[in-house]
Copies of this chain bind each other. A is one copy, B any other.
Amino acid sequence: MDFLNMAQLLEEKKYLKLKDELKDGQSFDIAEFIDSLDERQALLAFRLLPKGVAADVFSYLSVDRQAEISDLVNEKELADILSDLYFDDKVDLLEEMPANVIKKILKHTSDVERKLINQFLMYPDDSAGSLMTIEFVDLKKEMTVSDALDRIRRHAPNRETIYTCYVMDEARHLEGTISLKDLVLCDVDTKISEVMQVEPIFVKTHDNQEYIADVFKNYDLIAAPVVDNEQRLVGIITIDDIVDVMEKEATEDFHRMAAIEPFDDSYLNTSILVLARKRIGWLLVLMISATLTGLILSRYELALESVVALTFFIPMLMDTGGNAGSQASTLVIRSITLGEVKFKDIFRVISKELGVSLIVGLALSAVNFLRIWLIQGYDLTITLTVTITLFFTVLMAKVIGGILPILADKVNLDPAIMASPLITTIVDTFSLIIYFSVATIFLNI
């Protein structure tokens, strides 16, 4: 879509022409356009949308824009938008709107729906309950395919997906599923009970969203039924929400692995105070842990005074150890997340990391030996001290980096906390101990 041209049409008050442009656009694009306008223009453009499209565009708008528009439109318009929104989008909206808007919205919500909304709002934030929607096609197993297709035709416009239909008994227990594909392929007189899949994949209301994403991924689903503790069907989750979950979970892992506590909104939309609060905790913990390195160094004050050159290599040794350890821990953390590495694999991980660190450690030490001895011209004892330390530091870093995430996972901690920052701090301490142990032998200090 040509946003510039459309903004100009709006500026020049050529509303009919703009209305025509908007008619064929994708909801996501139109929402992006409306998000880019100022408040007054946004409302104008939003009002030009065809009735059926408005709610869909609304669901793609930024939270701030949604609040503005909900606040500015009249009661009738708001009622129209709300009646067209899918239930999960409506619940999301209520979670994020300011109080005055919530009040306005609830006025247009029936008692039944209000009760249901309250129930949905009580599910934990990252559970199936908070992801599901109630707009699905429910069938009875006594129906024929022809009955089922009739029912789908009647209800399809208000259902988020019709490609999988759900068969329930009188007490709303999930009995099976049937895809629209199978319905279209079957003879119209066939009974649903004969063609439905009887052991469908389902998730429970309190299942965690990360687990649900795995279920979708493994079974290549485009929708999944959600049941409560009594196996009653209460909603469905569709793949578009799972795609968002996958992205959000990845973002959380990235943040956690950089020692940042996860937060909900985007970086640019998050205030400096919140950003600072999400970062300072780990920085403090890591800084205080790092004072251990200072204590080790002060124990070797005399050695450092007599051979000050030892100091020059400390940053390089620490950095290389930290990097080597971070590589191992990142590989293992990601493999745990993907379900590829489990506790029983711990010895395979150790032997892999030992193997890798032998190769990498030898290569790095060799390069360093040549550089320190030949190019920088230090004497052989210092050169050997540094290169031997480097070798063992890489070895130790890779093994620690490989083991700690597995152990964390074993005791039900998030393995992602065993990432670069914490590993670096741990490895630094050990590398200094190695350094001065080797130095004591070679330099007689």
Contacts and interface: CB of A to CB of B under 8 A. Distances in A.
A322 interface: yes
A322 B345 CA distance: 31
Contacts of A359: 272-273, 276, 280
A330 B260 contact: yes
B163 A319 contact: no
A260 B356 CA distance: 13
A410 to B, nearest CB: 17
Contacts of A371: 288, 291
B330 A255 contact: yes
A49 interface: no
Interface string A264-298: 00111000110110011011101110110110011
Contacts of A217: 243-244, 247
Interface residues of A, number: 108
Residues of A contacting B: mostly: helix
Contacts of A255: 330-331, 334
A348 interface: yes
Interface in A225-256: 239-240, 242-244, 246-247, 250-251, 253-255
Nearest to A342: B268
Contacts of A162: 181, 184
A290 B319 contact: yes
A360 B199 CA distance: 54
A253 B288 CA distance: 30
A355 B272 contact: yes
A425 interface: yes
Interface string A307-320: 01101111110111
A318 B315 contact: yes
A363 B319 contact: no
Contacts of A258: 326-327, 329-331, 420
A7 interface: no
Contacts of A163: 163, 180-181, 222
B424 A254 contact: no
B304 A308 contact: yes
B279 A218 contact: no
Contact of A314 (B153, B315, B356): B315
Contact of A198 (B24, B280, B309): B24
A251 B331 CA distance: 9
A254 B180 CA distance: 39
Q: Among A153, A320, A331, A368, find the residue whose CB has the most chain B CB atoms closer than 10 A.
A: A331
A278 B199 CA distance: 44
A185 interface: yes
Given A286-B320, A315-B318, A432-B315, A219 B26 contact: yes
A363 B268 contact: no
Nearest to A282: B323
A400 B345 CA distance: 39
Interface in A178-229: 180-181, 184-185, 198-199, 201, 216-220, 222
Interface of A: 24, 26, 28, 149, 152-153, 156-157, 162-163, 180-181, 184-185, 198-199, 201, 216-220, 222, 239-240, 242-244, 246-247, 250-251, 253-255, 257-260, 266-268, 272-273, 275-276, 279-280, 282-284, 286-288, 290-291, 293-294, 297-298, 301, 304-305, 308-309, 311-316, 318-320, 322-324, 326-327, 329-335, 338, 340-341, 345, 348-349, 352, 355-356, 359-360, 363-364, 367-368, 371, 420-421, 424-425, 428, 432
Given A294-B315, A318-B319, 7 more contacts: A163-B180, A217-B243, A254-B254, A254-B334, A272-B355, A286-B320, A305-B305
14 contacts: A28-B220, A156-B184, A246-B247, A260-B330, A272-B352, A272-B355, A273-B359, A280-B364, A283-B324, A294-B312, A294-B315, A294-B316, A318-B318, A323-B424
